[in-house]
Amino acid sequence: MEAVRVDLGDPRFAADPYPALMRLRHQGPMLFDEATRMWLATTHAAVSATLRSRHLGRLWSDREPAQRLAPFNALHRHQMMENEPPVHTRLRRVVASAFGRGHVERVRPRVEAIAAGLLDALPAGRADILAGYAEPLPVAVIAAVLGIPDADRSQLRSWSQAIVAMYEYRRSGAVEPAAITASVEFGSYVRDLLDLRRRHPGEDLLSDLLSVGELTDDELVATVVLLLNAGHEASVNAFGNAVVTLLRHPTQRARLGSGEVALELALEEMLRYDAPLQLFERTATRDVVVEGQTVRRGDKVAALLGSANRDELVFAAADRFEPARTPNPHLGFGLGIHFCLGAPLARLELQVSLRMLLERFPRIALAADPTPRPTFVLHGYRRIDVDLGEPA
């Protein structure tokens, strides 16, 4: 067993994990991390095998102390992302039709209208493009899909941020109390909304989920919270990472502006080059061999998605941003039965928001070094100040 030590919670590591991830890949495809007592899948092959294996599953274990963290645990115990078949199959099937490509395309006009309104509201000159554009847009989109009233959307972001802070490997003492409060308030809000939709159905996903009648109230609440959290946390980071990548590579950005490279193609490279989700855990349900290493039943494996996306054996010049890269088998949305259900919506949001931003402000530039989030699992920035320049 080759053991390593890497501090996944170190903000310095989180700010730019790629040099350390390269060193890990060079040590081996499967390494045992002493600090977290779990295996690290470092290469594209090892991560792919981990995510595809039916003997490495998403097995939820209540966070301890379970009684104090009961509200947080309840929101996760009934999620599709934290379950395996047959529970996962049933939960995902009920929701999946709403996120098919055809259904998502019908949302495009709404996404464009929301983006246009946010761009209109940006101050002239300098702006934090995350706070003014990237953060409110996906919240508004997924809330519109679910049927969340406009007046309630501002609260969703803070609830979500408090809950997902629990996913990191180093947390301050304030994280758990905030997550408990957010879980209670978020869960209560969704239950009230479910009661409202039972009395007054609308043309939204929440009403559709109720009409199917296959999910318990606990499952409905967990599903809605998952869709709201996953529907915008990763999208915000993906947008921020993409903008910073583009603005730091003006020559490559010009290829998009000239039409030489299609934005849809470049977006896949942005997701590969700086992945918004860096780590996805699995647990062995029996002894299983991954890339020659035996993982014992009960052991955890951390699939390092960002490392897989920089694997030199799969991607030529892996540390270079190449917007026309093809093929591009990045793992930004995962793989296997837990492949991101919202990938079509996320791609649509990113394509629309980036295209409209660059068309409206073709001379946009970084006004200062972006401020990275001090988190690794959800990897991105918490502030990106830009000079917008004169609008087109």
Q: Which residues are designated catalytic?
A: 230, 233, 235, 340, 349
CA distance 130 to 385: 8
Any idea what the Cα angle at residue 316 is, between residues 314 and 321, rounded to 5°? 110
Q: Which residues of 164-196 are buried (b: 16+ CB within 10 A; e: fewer)?
A: bbbbbbeeeeeebebbbebbbebbebbeebbee
The answer to whether 125 touches 363, Cβ cutoff 8 Å, is no
The tally of CA atoms less than 13 A away on the side-chain side of residue 164 is: 24
Question: Which amino acid is present at 139?
Answer: V
Structure tokens at 116: 């246009």
Give the contacts of 288 (CB within 8 A, at least 6 positions apart). 53, 55, 56, 294, 295
Residues found in the chain: 392
62 DSSP assignment: P
Give the contacts of 226 (CB within 8 A, at least 6 positions apart). 79, 80, 81
Structure tokens at 60: 């939820």
Any idea what the Cα angle at residue 142 is, between residues 147 and 126, rounded to 5°? 125
Given its phi and psi angles, is residue 37 left (phi above 0), alpha (psi -120 to 50 degrees) or beta? left
Question: Which amino acid is present at 314?
Answer: V
Structure tokens at 45: 């092959």
Query: Locate tokens 């590591």: which residue?
Result: 13
